[in-house]
């Protein structure tokens, strides 16, 4: 295997909140069809509700609670399950691509999603954000502490 191939990171390209987003496959357990989310009364900020997955409750992210997000136009078509046991509603799945981290750039400080991104990837003439699952959980913890 060549070094160029070995250094590539496979990512799921998806649409969330009206924007493209790359999810590194190393952070995903699986992607499921969209399912009904049970809303939680008095829910914690950042969590929309729960679904039952493999016999356990799985918290589902509320994208609209995250910094820099506007509401997407489309109903979720899938649910990405992170290895860290969090469901991410996806408006669409666009495919899987191998991304070369050598082409990645740091998010601009003006990027609204910057606090929970790993990088930005040049793709089809635009920069597409790459989710950082650990940073996302840190943002959720901070939201919970804020009340």
Tell me, yes or no, whether 147 lies in a domain. Answer: no
The answer to the question of residue 70 being in a domain is yes
pLDDT per residue as tens digits for the range 66-117: 887 766 557 899 999 999 999 999 999 999 999 999 999 999 888 888 999 9
At 131, the pLDDT band (50, 70, 90 cuts) reads very high
How many domains, the chain?
A: 1
**Please, which residues bridge with residue 124 across strands?**
none
Query: Could you tell me if residue 20 is inside a domain?
Result: yes
> Is 145 within the bounds of a domain?
no
Residue 23, beta-bridge partner list: 12
DSSP 80: E
pLDDT at 67 (0 to 100) = 80
Task: Determine the Cα–Cα distance for residues 38 and 51; give it in Å rounded to an integer.
Answer: 6
Flag whether 38 is in a domain.
yes
Give the pLDDT confidence score for residue 3 in this predicted structure: 47
Question: What pLDDT does residue 112 have?
Answer: 85
In-domain check, residue 52? yes
The two structure tokens encoding residue 125: 């003439």
Structure tokens, 76: 């979720």
What tokens were used for 52? 């039952």
pLDDT over threshold 70, residue 132:
yes
The residue segments making up the domain with residue 96 are 3-140
* Position 146 in a domain: no
How long a stretch of residues is the chain? 147
Which residue's entry shows tokens 């016999």? 55
For 35-72, write each residue's pLDDT tens digit: 999 998 888 899 999 999 999 999 999 998 888 776 65
29/84 Cα distance (integer angstroms)? 9
């Amino acid at each position: 295997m060549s070094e160029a191939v070995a250094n590539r990171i496979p990512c799921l390209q998806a649409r969330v909140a009206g924007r493209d987003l790359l999810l590194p496959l190393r952070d995903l357990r699986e992607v499921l069809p969209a399912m009904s989310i049970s809303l939680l009364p008095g829910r914690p900020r950042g969590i929309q509700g729960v679904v039952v997955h493999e016999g356990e409750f799985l918290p589902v992210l509320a994208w609209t609670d995250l910094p820099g997000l506007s509401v997407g136009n489309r109903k979720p078509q899938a649910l990405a399950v992170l290895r860290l046991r969090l469901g991410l509603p996806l408006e669409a799945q666009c495919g899987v691509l191998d991304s070369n981290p050598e082409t990645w750039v740091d998010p601009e400080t003006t990027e609204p999603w910057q606090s929970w991104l790993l990088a930005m990837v040049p793709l089809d003439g635009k920069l597409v954000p790459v989710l950082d699952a650990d940073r996302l959980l840190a943002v959720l913890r901070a939201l919970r502490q804020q009340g």
